[in-house]
Structure 1
């Protein structure tokens, strides 16, 4: 999934607001010898079309290419409840879902009276979360929780009230799936907030927690940065392998090309 956007849509007080900056959309799967844990479920194609996004690959099809049957997945982490992360909940009929309790309070509480805060949520998907809660399939946990050996979740807030990040132990060390705590590496590098924000101070403070939990900046993975495709090898079309070290040579080529296009 990706979308053509301008820098002014992504960054507050952007110096070059009309310059293009593509927004990519990712979901993740953590695969070990004995199980697969899915992190977020992508975007419903109909909602993607309505919001002007180009649908590239269903996460269910992507999982199948990796040998993971969505119907058999038993653990699914929801980093927050924006529409681009909840698109395929019903494709995981056996899964127990995990989400911050603060996010559920946020999406069902008085902040949703304000159009600014509800604009990235879809009412039918929030209703689906309530249904999963009443079916005993949604665990609403505290700010930090251990999901499995080597997999923990940590509240950062900022982008929304219940935004969390995921810390994962891999063969190359501790990796942080920053989800929408970082849409782009640029936020982290420049210390600036993304434009869709609930609490800007929490968003900036989240950068420090990401750094504390990751083994290095090379172990941090944003949720929407096209630079990922230049840094990491393709496992298949539109599927990246992220448990290997990034290749910064390829990223420099992409950045140089983008700068030339902007000029």
Structure 2
């Protein structure tokens, strides 16, 4: 759909930095890291896209009980933050779930009228035999998986194939790697095509050095995802990872009082 003027839709992208973990070590993030005991803060983001009156939510953030369980610190309530920007969750019609790890699916029921879109491969993964292995299930919460299955039976989940157009200017693309159904989101903005890499990239460092993140289903797919991201983004400066504190450092705040918490990644980053 166009933006009402006949021109192609261009979206604003709001990155909500709702949590952090300042005790994270490099050895938990990168395989065979040369400095495994050095600290490397992990931030947690979810996003919403806005074009006129249309809003698309990308991932729902983390439940605070689950955050405490996994040792993370909540900074914001992502649902309340949507309301701060005039987005009523009850009126949101489209929610994209890039994958089902607990820090992306913590507020499914905050969107009672939304249709959820997710890779079919991710649903097969989280309800299939790999969940019998602790290594592959440890970043999932079983109640959130069960809730997504309930939503599917309620007719509110679109389990799509590897590439799907969601709206004019918004598409999703399978890359796998981090989990079987990891997807990325391509968004048309005023500065060009931005890719929300979600957990296909936790940190810019993975992309810059060509290295995998330590939590992986398929390492070769994880590395191949870097090339797919480059194909879809207008430049490396149009790529946004899901957990890097650098995002809040280089992108402008979305408004007074939201410095370090909500940032506009549709605007150009402040680069050295």
Q: TM-score, normalised by structure 2?
A: 0.91
Report how far residue 112 of structure 1 moved. Answer: 0.3
Which of the residues 114, 132, 148 maps onto 1:113? 132
Residues of 1 paired with 2:193 and 2:201: CA distance?
A: 17
Report how many aligned residue pairs link the two structures. 249
Q: Is the aligned partner of 1:62 residue 2:62?
A: no
Residues of 2 paired with 1:105 and 1:82: CA distance?
A: 14
1:11 corresponding residue in structure 2: 30
Which of the residues 188, 192, 198 maps onto 1:179? 198
Residues of 2 paired with 1:152 and 1:208: CA distance?
A: 17
- The superposition leaves residues 11-45 of structure 1 with CA deviations (integer Å, 9 ceiling, x where unpaired) of 00100000000000000000011210000000000
Secondary structure, counterpart of 1:234 in structure 2: coil
- The superposition leaves residues 126-154 of structure 1 with CA deviations (integer Å, 9 ceiling, x where unpaired) of 00000000000001000000001100000
Residues of 2 paired with 1:55 and 1:44: CA distance?
A: 9
- The superposition leaves residues 222-258 of structure 1 with CA deviations (integer Å, 9 ceiling, x where unpaired) of 0000000111011124111111100013xxxxxxxxx
Residues of 2 paired with 1:241 and 1:14: CA distance?
A: 32
Which of the residues 160, 168, 171 maps onto 1:141? 160
1:210 corresponding residue in structure 2: 229
Secondary structure, counterpart of 1:27 in structure 2: strand
**Larger RCO (CA under 8 A, 6+ residues apart):** 2
Residues of 1 paired with 2:266 and 2:208: CA distance?
A: 22
Report how far residue 65 of structure 1 moved. Answer: 1.4
- The superposition leaves residues 192-219 of structure 1 with CA deviations (integer Å, 9 ceiling, x where unpaired) of 0000000000000000000000000000
Which of the residues 72, 79, 84 maps onto 1:53? 72
Residues of 2 paired with 1:151 and 1:115: CA distance?
A: 34
2:14 corresponding residue in structure 1: none
Report how far residue 71 of structure 1 moved. Answer: 1.1
Secondary structure, counterpart of 2:81 in structure 1: helix
Residues of 2 paired with 1:32 and 1:65: CA distance?
A: 17
Report how far residue 79 of structure 1 moved. Answer: 0.1
Secondary structure, counterpart of 2:99 in structure 1: coil
Residues of 2 paired with 1:81 and 1:50: CA distance?
A: 17
2:269 corresponding residue in structure 1: 246
Q: TM-score, normalised by structure 1?
A: 0.94
- Unaligned runs of 5+ residues in structure 2 are 1-18
Greater helix share, structure number:
1
Residues of 2 paired with 1:51 and 1:71: CA distance?
A: 28
1:76 corresponding residue in structure 2: 95
Secondary structure, counterpart of 1:169 in structure 2: strand
1:2 corresponding residue in structure 2: 20
- Unaligned runs of 5+ residues in structure 1 are 250-263
**Structure 1: 4+ residue segments shifted above 6 A:** none
Residues of 1 paired with 2:199 and 2:68: CA distance?
A: 21
